[in-house]
Structure 1
Amino acid sequence: MYAIVKAGGRQEKVTVGETIVIDHLDSKSGASVSFPAVLVVDGATVTSDPKALSSVKVTGEVIDDIKGPKIDILRYKNKTGYRRRQGFRTQHTRVKITAISI
């Protein structure tokens, strides 16, 4: 069984026991979070009806907060001596999926 859930502005395919990395959540390590399901596949049964999906709960446990890869930004203009260097790392949250209840 797997589900497609909305997490952090994106859709993620999740199964029970899987660890996913999503956009930053304001939750402490060990906290329980739930995600809205968009689609649920259980063997040959595919559920995509919004009324049926309103009762589906996908829960997970926050493991920790991590940082994404470093993005280097360099602005440069020729012949003027203008240079600006900047870096950025996005904040992510690692979540372990604990249950998909129908």
Structure 2
Amino acid sequence: MKYAVVKINGSLFKVKEKDQIEVNRVSWKEGETVSLDDVLLFVDGAKIKIGTPRLKDTKIEAKLVKNYLGEKLYIYKFKAKTGYRRKTGFRAQKSLLSIEKLGN
């Protein structure tokens, strides 16, 4: 089994080929294929490569499928006996990446 651990926007993800992962918004164009250089671990069957801190010769190709807004979260503030109530909402900006190719 072939997989890798890659760092994208400060978060670590375990990825395999043909995986789709949800990450915080990236600044690429939709449909663009990008090479990810921040590979920390690469496993190909019995071969294991561990970076110190990252692997220089291993790259991962990923394609940006779409940018979208995440699920809405509601934040409530409340103070007892004063009638103070506030409600605000928040939607995180997300990107959906498709892993095209693992390895060199």
For normalisation by structure 2, the TM-score amounts to: 0.90
Report the structure, 1 or 2, having the larger strand content.
2
- Does residue 1:31 correspond to 2:37, yes or no? no
Alignment of 1:1-102 (within 5 A): 1-35=2-36, 36-50=38-52, 53-102=55-104
Secondary structure of the residue aligned to 2:27 is coil
Give the 3 Å change call, closer, same or farther, for CA 51–68 of structure 1 in structure 2: closer
Give the 3 Å change call, closer, same or farther, for CA 70–6 of structure 1 in structure 2: same
CA deviations over 1:1-47 (Å, ceiling 9, x no partner): 11000012211011111111111001111112232101000001110
1:52, distance to aligned residue in structure 2 (A): 7.8
Give the 3 Å change call, closer, same or farther, for CA 49–77 of structure 1 in structure 2: closer
Question: C-alpha separation between the residues in 2 aligned to 1:92 and 1:34?
Answer: 19
5+ long unaligned stretches in structure 2: none
Secondary structure of the residue aligned to 2:71 is coil
5+ long unaligned stretches in structure 1: none
1:48, distance to aligned residue in structure 2 (A): 0.2
Aligned Cα RMSD in Å? Answer: 1.6
Q: Runs of at least 4 residues of structure 1 off by over 2 A?
A: 49-52
How many pairs does the alignment contain? Answer: 102
Query: Residue 73 of structure 2 aligns to which amino acid in structure 1?
Result: I
